[in-house]
A and B are shown apart, each in its own frame.
Chain A
Amino acid sequence: MAEDLVLDTAIRDWVLIPLSVVMVLIGILRYFVSKLMRSSNQVPDPKMVKEGQVIIRARNLRAAANYIPAKSFRARRVYFSNEENGLLYVPKGQAQNAQAQMFSDPNMAMDMMKKNLSMIIPQTLTFAWVNFFFSGFVAAKIPFPLTQRFRSMLQNGIDLSTVDVSYVSSRSWYFLNLFGLRGLFSLILGEENATDDTQRMMQMSGFGFDPTKSLGAEKDSLDIFQHEWALPKFEQRAEAVLKKLVVSVPTPVAETIKTEEVKTVVEASKEEKVAATPAHEVVTEEQKQVTKEEVAEEQVQVTEEEVVTEEQKQVTEEEVAPEVVKEKQEEATKEEVAAPPAEKPAAPEAETKELAEEAVPEEAVAKDETKEPVEEKIEAEAPKEAVIDETKEEEAPKFTEEEKPAAKEE
């Protein structure tokens, strides 16, 4: 049943655009009128001002609470929601009073009346004008399909029941503009403009006393809030930032130089047991990606160097670390390295990437000391394994040797 009605472009020129323009102009007019009418008795009630400020402060507290220490947050929370003299605490009796007071105070009532009038009259007039002049024809097509229920609302002037509900009359265009031009008005007229009908309609329709309700709401949300101090995370982030800053200095001049740097970094970090691993992981990652594109020669060079470092590392391990620790580490390395050779049938380059990715999030988690050298070994071995069998064969006898003492101990 979806026939395509072709709508005359004259409709667009003479209905849609003029209607929008008229509404914008009326909105601006209303803004200035309300400004003029508002002038004289604007002595702000001290209580209202204070409550407004309290709400803003409480909201700030909730928004940024994770940036201040837990103690201060708790102190402030008590200050706000304390039963007796907390700022946000409003006993129920008071709420009722305020409402009654609002209505009996003649000034306030007059103000509200004026505001309402300035809102309602232009709306009514415009609506009547639209109905009178722009009814009885299809004005626009809504781009999405609608159910039949909307027919009475959107198609009031069109008395054909076979027309698709997407074709609407100009009344719906009026409503669309009414709610949609709010954004435009806040752009043109700055923040507080009287054309914020919809907001005020929502507020005043229940005739609730605003400050009291919002105070209560703030208090509740503050009570619920869980404080999670974000500062320790910041420390780590600062480290990351600094690392990036510091490491990015050695710009890659030649591949060999880079690998040597990697080697030295790996050794140095291992000595101190400080995890500069993320730094050199970054570098090795880059290096890996580059080596992928490079010739096999390059990789052979790399692997040779890393084999050397591997041996060196194991030597230093045996010299420095105590016996038990050494055994544990070697077991661990055996396990870890045993895993990659098991995966060897998979594409080796994909494997290097996987390991790199595994290693990087691992680094983010709190590390064990045993894990650190292991990770480095993975990093060191990954490019190696990507290419050559000989290293694996070298490793294999080493494993068997180490397996034996481990087995013997057990």
Chain B
Amino acid sequence: MPTPVSVARQCLTEEAASALDDAVSVARRRSHAQTNSLHAVSALLSLPSSPLREACGRAWSVAYSPRLQFKALELSVGVSLDRLPCVKNVEEPPISNSLMAAIKRSQANQKRSPESFHLQQIHSSQQATSLTIKVELKHFLLSILDDPIVSRVFGEAGFRSYDIKLAIVQPAVPPASRLFRSSCPPPIFLCNLMDGGSHFPGSGEDSNENFRRIGEVLGRKSGKNPIIIGMCSKSALESFLDGVESGKQGVLSAGLDRLSTISIENDIGEGVKMSEKFNELSHELRHSSNSGVIVSLGPLTSLIHEDGDAPQQEAARYVVSELTALLKAHKERLWVIGAAESYETFQKFLSQFPDAEKDWDLHLLPITYRSSSSSAQIFSTSKSSLMGSFVPFGGFFSMPTEYATPSSSPFSGSQCDLCNKKCAEEVAALMQDGSSTSVSDRCSTNLPSWLQMSESDSHKPMDVSKKDDRTTLNAKILELQNKWNKVCHSLHNHQPVFNLAIQQARPEVVATDSFNVAADPRKWCSDGSPISGNKCPQVAASIATDLHRISHQEKDRGAHMASQAEQAHMQNISETNQITRIGGLLPSQKLPTYNLLPTHQALPPSITNVGTNLGLGLTTVQSESVPEKTWDGVPVKWRVHGHQGCTQQPLGSPSSSASVLGARLKPPLGDAQQSSPSGYNNFEMYPDPQDFKAIWGSLKGNVGWQDEALCIISQVVSCYKSGSLRRLRFGKDLWMTFLGPDVAGKRRTALALAEIFHDTKRLIYADLSSQKGIRPTCTTCEFHELQACEMLRGKTVVDYIADELRQKPNSVVYLENIDRADPLIQNCLSQALKTGKLKDTYGREFSTRNTIFVATSTVSMDGEVFPSNTESDYSEERVLKSRRWQMQISVESVAAEGRSSKGMAVVVTSQKSSATKRKHSDMDNSSELDRGTGTQRRSDKLSLDLNLPVTDVEEELDDVNTETETSIEDSDSWFKDFLGQVDRNVVFKPYDFKGAAQTFLEEMRITLQSAVGFEVPLEIDDEVMMQIVAAGWQCKEQEAIKWWIRQVMRRGFLEAHQRYKLTADSAVKLASCKGIALEQQAPGVCLPASINLK
């Protein structure tokens, strides 16, 4: 049972009661049946100087800009208010139970709180009859914040209500605006510069910072003689002396005024004049009534002499010694000042007069700013245009009126012209004092209804108070300016803040997380929502929001044509209103968008813009509603695919250009509706994910050699799909690590996984070891499917992953070299593991639901690096590094004695040119190859190109290694931690390169024999062999390579045989043409489609 307002008022102090009245009026305006805490919050926030607002200001979190957060708060309050049911004409909406409970709570709190104890006693003694305690505003606020609705609203805006409570409880620190006031005059703003033009900073020399600092030094007890250092020191010194001479106020502090200056710089070197000067000086010091004398040395360069310049040296010595004597005699009344262009000059001076620094009690004063007249002139010339552009009411304030001196202007030039004009008009009207209705009232008829509403708060106090003394008028003007500033901000000119907000909001629309999606419109509603007012159903309101939001975005596109966009925007808003109103009047249905469609078609062509927005709105609305429907009650396995289908369409559409969208308004609608069935179809096309065998088979088909690992993976994945995975963590995502060697095998497995779940495009790849995430290109082991993520500079890997995840939800995220991840990624991944949300560097969160994370590392769980097959020729590193070059066949005749055994028909020759590899090749010599081929190979080496970039590549890699070493220590512990947290660690075993190589060699031997007809020795270059092995490694099966040997190589051999008529004495050589990229690739394998013949 609601409580009447008057009863509630009795429990409150005057201040709190007035806040309650405001709340009631908010409720009345919105035609709500009851006044609840939200109304109170809304009312409290709308006051410009409310304690709640102030507390929020102190509690804002650093992650967001305060302005943005306030905006968000206002929006979320507005939206929540819109949700409340409306009734017709309640004169004074009674206080709801929840708000009344809050008041009661605050009463109880206040009773308990010690600070008010005595107060309460006074109360009770005064009015013994009524036991009610008058609740103070502070306690009222605190208990309102306890209300769950309120704390939710604050939470949505990124505030934590306990922060705010803390801010309310803690006494506010003295306003920081006092910060510089104590020592300095109040801040000067452009608007109050008009009275005294000389006050313009920089132009008026009396406000010069340089003077202040020089004066400060002069006023000190020790080190009081400044040497000004800096490029502009000379001019600074001159203008300072001028200032002292002309006795300007503020140049010197009190007690130091009435100083006289003597400049000796021009007289140095002229003996007679010099001594006259010193006589004059000592006379003055003794007899003058002045408080002191400043001796200016001018630039120190005049005292510095070159070696051998005896007369000058003498003169300088004289000056220095005289000055030293005088300074000793008149310590209190004599100052020396000099200027040095740079520190080097000063050092030179010191080297010649080493005692000067101590005797003269010098102090170095760096001066950085040119206080010359040139800058003053710059300022003064620019003034007029400054006034025009920055001070919105330049014209107004320059009017010769006694009122035109407000203390400060609260705005920047960020207000738009329209609002400026309106505001100026209004202020002018106020000045005339004739009309009681403000301009905004009149012009508000032209404005959208919701704008009128938001204004009405600020109007009231103004119309009521009609006192005409100057201070209130100024206050009014300020208030007006504030109001218009606010209006302007809410209407037009908050792009920079807003743009960002849009970008933050957009991903949420397409994000899979249904909560986010649902929350999204709520956040952005309030701009548009009040339009809906009483009649509009909630759904329409959310569409309105979308429209509005996107219309902002539309504006963003045209931001370069600012003024034009401004107008268009105004138009947009009013027309958007029209549409939503029409939409709002229609009964709410399952798909209100249908109702809107004809409306749009009926609109004149001039507002296609709005229509476009409508289209965008449709797709977003669809994406919100459909997934939610399919989500509930559908088994897990369906969800993945159904959802995927749903999101696809809206995904594409917002990014397409506006015109295209305008043209195909309807298709998105249809697509979105049909999306769930298409999801089912998708599902049929792939092996049943629940079936372990199917998964295993599919993986095995891709990576034939990793039986054990694949078995584990298949188990984990099938368990994950069926939901029976025993988890260490909470979350609907799957985390695995692939440890050990076999990079290609791991990649293949990841690809296969992506294929099982969706398609190979749903693989997000990032190599965490390289800074830029770009892998060296052109290697044989390049995977086309792993589209080299050309990460943009400035995009961290985290952002890249988050972005990809946003575009392709439910993907397989494949992260290589997890052990080398930088702290940024480490944090991000740990958090994603724990919370199921991936947070990018902007603080946006993306759900990792239904995402499979696969992280790989060559480091084992014990922190050991897996031993790569060093004893073999074919280590994984070498194979990985092999490049895709064209191959060529050459034929040589071999002397009979050179050929040894017939058994070694096919040999691999190594061709390592770099010194680093020499040892390795020597080892090859002794171990594998007989002497005969050894000599041949040496002759072969003559044709080598020594400029090959083999070593370069290695050095680059080494660089990377050393760089990452520093961070390795920290990441070690993190890595172990990470391994402990993931769902499963799978260890891969090394790939049998040697075995594969032998198979291929045998195949080649047979091929050559069959092509030529008899046994011919075949020498294969090491590089080529690497290339072939690498190709075999990344192929699904070795058959493809064998096929390539039988086809491509055979063709090459045949050609060679035709041209050179091979005999038993000839040897066929297969070498790679280094530097020449593949001309054409053979189908299915990363090997050349044809082999050149030399």
Chain A partners chain B: no
